[in-house]
Amino acid sequence: MTFADRERSVRAGAPVGLFEFSRGPLVWRYTNCGADYDARGIVYTNVPGFTDDVISQSGEIERDSLTLTVPASLPVVQHYLSVKPSTRTRLAIRSVHFGDEDPDLEWVGYIAAIRRKRTGERLVTCQSIAATFGRPGLRLCWSRGCPYVVYDNRCTVNPDKFAVSTVLGQVSGIAVSAAALSAAPEDGYYSGGVMRWTSADGVDEVRGLDLHDRAAGTVQVFGGTQGLSSGQTVTVMPGCDYTVETCERRFNNRVNCGCHKGMPGKSPFDGTEVF
């Protein structure tokens, strides 16, 4: 009997939900059918207390979220204890009927938020992958400052050309020190920049930087320094203050700069009569 036949059957149906979370090289597979489930050699671990909402499609993507109730000790939850991960955790839900080994993919999305429900339980809110699709928005506006994000496809600066590998010295709650920070060409060079490193789990982490002090050799890390330690090797890339002077001096990228310094300070639509 095929999956579709068992779906339509009143007696033969025995649905089982299979949940696969993934983030980089990390994969967690769970089920709530009462026992571990083997689907063609891929084992989904049974988790008591794991429940899910009904998948809905109302036509409004933001409202079509899926909420899971899971134990607080679940490994995937541990990545959200303090700082939200810099990369998304993907969720794929598959459906199968008990005894079958070929599950159908039913829903794909990602973890949007995790919050406490009660002691020992967490609510995991997930959004459909459709929520990440591009939607109509405001057109690009003229401005004195550059509207592009440094290293994006409009900025076109290659971050690898400016990346510097360094070893961390002191690590506090919000700031780190390193030799590369002292050797920067100017104060504030890494303000607005990026720090990358590979975690102990093998996941590539990315954090923003702020308040670079060249004299002290320090920089503040957005989101704190969890996952960082003294002696750890990281890669830092400079930031931009979105002025044409910095774009030309630091990146030699004036041709792609989105600044318009000559804009008048008076709006042509303020009601002032021209004649």
Extents of the domains making up the chain: 3-131, 163-237
Q: What is the pTM of this model?
A: 0.78
Task: Say yes or no to pLDDT of 159 above 70.
Answer: yes
pLDDT of residue 226: 85
Q: Are strands 42-46 and 26-31 parallel, antiparallel or unpaired?
A: parallel
In terms of pLDDT, which residue wins out, 12 or 145?
145
Task: Say yes or no to pLDDT of 142 above 90.
Answer: no
pLDDT of residue 51: 86
Do residues 67 and 55 make contact, with C-beta atoms less than 8 angstroms apart?
no
Task: Say yes or no to pLDDT of 103 above 60.
Answer: yes
Q: What is the total residue count of the chain? A: 275
- Domain covering 163-237: architecture: Beta Barrel (2.40)
**What kind of fold does domain 3-131 have according to CATH?**
Thrombin, subunit H (2.40.10)
What is the residue-averaged pLDDT of the chain?
86
List the one residue out of 90, 123, 81 whose CA is nearest residue 108.
90
Give the chain's end-to-end CA distance (angstroms, integer).
82
What's the average model confidence in pLDDT over 39-48? Answer: 91
HSE at residue 263, side-chain half, CA atoms within 13 A, is: 14
